[in-house]
Chains A and B, each alone.
Chain A
């Protein structure tokens, strides 16, 4: 259970990733077990991502950054740490610790723009920019406070 591999059970004909022996499609037992962690996962709901030992099968170690054409940029100066962006992000890509918004996880963000829509500050503390835009220029071009926000 601890090796984090697809249950490498020769007798049941399962494939072990990286194993010497190649197994044909017709020899593979239906179904696969993917372990998310290298170690015991019982208290995982009490551990932050950085304190977990993710296995190579957790999508946490994968990235979908290539999906993006636009990306959210975060401006700490305006943010009120309301956590709206955190609760609505569908890709677990708003990093919050101790009730503070820390930034964006660009490995998992797909650039949907939901976080920008739900951000209540004026001007917004999150705005979408072209993927190739560098962060400093993006922050330098931040809009001023608007009199009345059009919705």
Chain B
């Protein structure tokens, strides 16, 4: 009863949306595709906290809310803390028998962007996972501080142009590599971690359902293509996401209990990384001759990461 059946898309489309339209996210924003799907893949009551960021500012603009669930906006840093506080109180009241409706299934979910997750809320998230709360944290990873004007975060990949690491005559954009948050969270002791992307809707729904039904802290990094900061046409959100998963820039996999790594999507035809990069304005400058070495490095890194994931899947360590 807790989890809706998702055999196929037709079945899934009978879900009753608990995320409402007329939120103010950009046209074509992947955030709402991801959030909608999380709310649609379960019938359980949800207690949700959103960190400051695009999702929060665009879904609760006074006097409107787009949430049909319990929802709280908290600081930039502490959506994990807020929701695990609620979870702790829920458990305590259940124990004391002071819950009005103790048998109703409740799940605790926190959302944060990559700014809130990789940077500002990092230690709070780490603490919440370490304390072992029963909650699911979902990072809407658009690789940039999109809400405040496109500043680089520690999720921004190498070579991307952002307002605080702009590409120009002397710079090719961000110099540092993207932080591997999925590995970090697995090492942090999360019971279940996964990387998902909205174009693979079924894969994503399965990861969400696993996370919600796993006891203990779960972490999901959801690729969220950003039409505004990645600079592509709003209609292409799913096309760009396809390029990301099929070039293995965003490989889809899960890690259970910190060691059991499963690759959950293997592209039939792996496409070159430069096809993914070329589709976005934030990487346009990489196609100048003087930046050819960055393109090469990109491909090498993506290949090496894919190799690493496959070996870990085999090794089960």
Name A residues whose Cβ lies closer than 8 Å to a Cβ of B: 6, 17, 32, 34, 36-37, 41-42, 44-49, 52, 56-60, 62-64, 67, 81-84, 86-93, 96, 98-99, 105, 107-114, 116-118, 128
Contacts and interface: CB of A to CB of B under 8 A. Distances in A.
Contacts of A109: 21
B235 A90 contact: no
Contact of B21 (A82, A86, A87, A108): A108
A52 B18 CA distance: 11
8 contacts: A57-B65, A87-B13, A88-B33, A88-B201, A90-B27, A90-B31, A99-B13, A118-B238
Contacts of B33: 87-90
Contact of B13 (A49, A86, A107, A113): A86
A116 B12 contact: no
Interface string B20-33: 11111101111111
B235 A91 contact: no
Contact of B64 (A57, A84, A86, A88): A57
A91 B101 CA distance: 32
Interface of B: 9-14, 16-25, 27-33, 36-37, 42-45, 59-60, 62-68, 101, 104, 198, 201, 233-239
A64 B12 contact: no
A111 B176 CA distance: 36
Contacts, number: 142
Q: Which of A17, A34, A56, A92 has the most CB of B within 10 A?
A: A92
Contacts of B65: 34, 36, 57-59
Contacts of B239: 117
B21 A60 contact: yes
Contact of B45 (A42, A110, A113): A42
A67 B238 CA distance: 21
Nearest to B11: A99
Contacts of B13: 83, 86-87, 96, 99
B47 to A, nearest CB: 13
Contacts of A84: 9
B1 to A, nearest CB: 10
Given A6-B63, A82-B9, A88 B22 contact: no
Nearest to B17: A92
A114 to B, nearest CB: 6
A128 to B, nearest CB: 8
B27 A112 contact: yes
Task: Sort A-B residue pairs by CB-CB distance and give the 5 closest, nearest first.
Answer: A108-B21, A113-B235, A112-B27, A112-B28, A110-B27
Given A83-B12, A87-B9, A59 B23 contact: yes
B104 A42 contact: yes
B13 to A, nearest CB: 4
A145 to B, nearest CB: 22
A116 B26 CA distance: 17
B235 A88 contact: no
B9 A36 contact: no
Given A90-B237, A99-B10, A46 B28 contact: no
B21 A93 contact: yes
A64 B22 contact: yes
A19 to B, nearest CB: 13
A37 B25 CA distance: 22
Given A37-B68, A90-B29, A59 B21 contact: yes
Given A34-B65, A46-B16, A112-B234, A87 B25 contact: no
Given A47-B16, A92-B19, A59 B64 contact: yes
Given A58-B65, A117-B239, A81 B10 contact: yes
A10 to B, nearest CB: 19
